[in-house]
Structure 1
């Protein structure tokens, strides 16, 4: 009686959270983060336990075949949902249907050739294997695609490993004790259903927490980035610099400000759409010119910034020259234009600074140097007045 109540509660949890996941997926426009896949997984597993209650015990019937098939198809749906959560575009129904048909055929073959015990043992063995592989994938993800979710992934791996262990024990007990150990009042079955009911209570809120965290991270990222170019905005630069200076014994940083020469002429002659295309290509030049670990941002209309971290004055000047030369040699493809545009840029470099509090001062220094470069003829690099005696690099105007 107690086991029947536990399975009934498990069914209710699974089906209710399936509906909740589906409702959440409908509210997530665009990237649904796999929530509709998780809804399908819960639905399949919930229906499998409904059929188990309807069966009343081990039996050979079409209902039993469907029950076992749904029970194993649900981890496939969960696995695919996790892949969608981490950005992999994978289909849902084709893998689930192909697997379900193959496993239904395998059940018929095993029942006919080896008997009922072998068919139930096959379910336990397949379940155990699937969940162990899933747990290994989660642990692997901590070092690769889920580095930002370290503790959450370890939590999921622990719970999934528990399912694998229980199914492995069930396989051994079936092989040694037969179908008798599957009785609803058997102690092992009671432990199994208690654990599964606990998972049905813990895992869905944990999945919702992951979705909320991912949405929060995306909103934070959107607030820190320029929507046109994808570069950091001024706020994003300040946050990234704060993280840099707070987490290491950092060397002084140098701020480079780049302004596209005669950008107003481009807008006036070709329109704002062409101007936006130029800005996106300037952002690409900027990304290619800086070193790994440097920061890049757009801080004004046609004004861009690069922060050279852990370098010296010569290193910052080399980055500036790569950037100036990259702009000078770049052919800007503009929609509707008969020929590519050629643009140049003037770059101002600040004195070295060692903290986020000095960022505004570095901005003023680089801005002053930038406008000296504009007055001196454009398409050149100008260092801050505090960097006395620093000439422009060879090749610069």
Structure 2
């Protein structure tokens, strides 16, 4: 009686959360993040338990075959939903239909050749195998594609491992005790249904939490980037730099401030639409040329910033020259025209700094060096020197393309 009540409650949980997931997926519109797949998984499992209640016990019937097929299809739907959540464009109906046909045929063959115990054992064994693969994938994800969801993924791995173990135990009990092991009043079945009810109560809110977490992260990412170029804005630059300093030992960082030369002239000559295209072009060149781990940002207007980590003065000057040369060499083709537009940038380089609180000083230093470069002819790299220093500033000109003192 207790087990029957638990299964009834389990059906209600699964079907209600299936409707909730479907409603959420409708609200998400274009980017459903797997919520429609999770809704299908809950629906399949809920219907499987409804059929189990209607059966009343182990039996060989069409209802039993459908029950087993739905039970096995539900974790596959969850699996596909998880792939969708992490951005993989997988289909839903075709894999589920293929599984339904294949597993229904397998049930008939096993029932006729090995008997009912083997058919029920096959369901438990296949379920255990599926959940084992899911648990391993989740653990793998903690170290690869889901590093930002470390705590959540560990939590899911523990829950999935629990249902995997219970299905493996059910498989062994079926082989040892036959169909009697599936009687609703058995202690093992009671434990099994209690755990399933626990999962049905805990997992759906956890999935909703993941969706909210991902949406919040996306909103934070939108707020941290310039809409046109998709580079970090000033706020995003500060936040990301703080994360970089927190995640590693204190290392020297350098700030490069880049300004597109004669940008007003480009706007006046070609129009603001071409001016915007130039900014996007420069942003793409900087993104492609900067080293992995460097932070590329657009502060506003025609001004860009690159923060270089784990390097020295000589290294940052060579990187700055590489950026300058890449912008100079890569032309922008003007749409609806055979013309190509070449632009250049002047770059000011700050002294090294080792924490976020020194960022504003580094910006001021790079800005001072940048305007010295503008005054010296543009399309060059200037390294900031302390105001009280009488030594010449290091620079790279487009003519010599090597580091040389500039007066």
**TM-score, normalising length from structure 2?**
0.94
Give the aligned partner of residue 362 of structure 2.
362
How much has 1:23 moved relative to structure 2?
Answer: 1.0
- Aligned in 2, Cα 1:111/1:68: closer, same or farther, shift over 3 Å? same
Q: Deviations over 1:182-205 (max 9, x none)?
A: 111111111110010000011111
How much has 1:99 moved relative to structure 2?
Answer: 0.5
Give the aligned partner of residue 317 of structure 1.
317
How much has 1:335 moved relative to structure 2?
Answer: 2.2
Give the aligned partner of residue 5 of structure 2.
5
Contact 1:244 1:250 in 2 (8 A): no
Contact 2:44 2:71 in 1 (8 A): yes
How much has 1:87 moved relative to structure 2?
Answer: 0.7
Matches of 2:147 and 2:352, distance apart in 1: 32
Give the aligned partner of residue 127 of structure 2.
127
- Aligned in 2, Cα 1:270/1:318: closer, same or farther, shift over 3 Å? same
How much has 1:209 moved relative to structure 2?
Answer: 1.0
Please give the secondary structure, in 2, of the residue aligned with 1:255. strand
Please give the secondary structure, in 2, of the residue aligned with 1:395. coil
Matches of 1:199 and 1:24, distance apart in 2: 20
Please give the secondary structure, in 2, of the residue aligned with 1:135. helix
Give the aligned partner of residue 347 of structure 1.
347
Per mean C-alpha deviation after superposition, the further-off stretch among 6-15 and 293-302 is 293-302
Give the aligned partner of residue 401 of structure 2.
395
Matches of 2:182 and 2:245, distance apart in 1: 60
Give the aligned partner of residue 336 of structure 1.
336
- Aligned in 2, Cα 1:117/1:249: closer, same or farther, shift over 3 Å? closer
What is the count of residue pairs matched by the alignment?
A: 397
How much has 1:31 moved relative to structure 2?
Answer: 1.7
Matches of 2:246 and 2:137, distance apart in 1: 33
Q: 1:230 and 2:233 equivalent?
A: no
* Structure 2, unpaired ranges of 5+: none
Matches of 1:32 and 1:55, distance apart in 2: 35
Please give the secondary structure, in 2, of the residue aligned with 1:58. coil
Matches of 1:311 and 1:214, distance apart in 2: 33
Mapping 1:167-206, distance limit 5 Å? 167-206=167-206
Contact 1:121 1:174 in 2 (8 A): yes
Give the aligned partner of residue 296 of structure 2.
296
Contact 1:44 1:74 in 2 (8 A): yes
Q: Deviations over 1:104-125 (max 9, x none)?
A: 1111111122211111111111
Please give the secondary structure, in 2, of the residue aligned with 1:31. coil
**TM-score, normalising length from structure 1?**
0.96
Matches of 2:128 and 2:60, distance apart in 1: 22
* Structure 1, unpaired ranges of 5+: none
Give the aligned partner of residue 277 of structure 1.
277
Give the aligned partner of residue 81 of structure 2.
81
Segments ≥4 residues shifted beyond 6 Å: none
Matches of 1:252 and 1:337, distance apart in 2: 45
Matches of 2:355 and 2:2, distance apart in 1: 63
Please give the secondary structure, in 1, of the residue aligned with 2:259. strand
Matches of 2:2 and 2:246, distance apart in 1: 55
Question: What is the CA RMSD across the aligned residues, in angstroms?
Answer: 1.6
Give the aligned partner of residue 21 of structure 1.
21
Per mean C-alpha deviation after superposition, the further-off stretch among 180-189 and 362-371 is 362-371
Contact 2:250 2:355 in 1 (8 A): no
Contact 2:327 2:344 in 1 (8 A): yes
Q: Deviations over 1:351-381 (max 9, x none)?
A: 2222222212221221222122222221111
Please give the secondary structure, in 2, of the residue aligned with 1:200. helix
Contact 1:324 1:345 in 2 (8 A): yes
Please give the secondary structure, in 1, of the residue aligned with 2:394. coil
Contact 1:231 1:297 in 2 (8 A): yes
Matches of 2:250 and 2:310, distance apart in 1: 6
Matches of 2:206 and 2:92, distance apart in 1: 22
How much has 1:256 moved relative to structure 2?
Answer: 0.7
Please give the secondary structure, in 2, of the residue aligned with 1:299. strand
Contact 2:384 2:393 in 1 (8 A): no
Please give the secondary structure, in 1, of the residue aligned with 2:307. strand
Contact 2:385 2:393 in 1 (8 A): no
Per mean C-alpha deviation after superposition, the further-off stretch among 379-388 and 144-153 is 379-388
Give the aligned partner of residue 379 of structure 1.
379
Matches of 2:30 and 2:271, distance apart in 1: 31
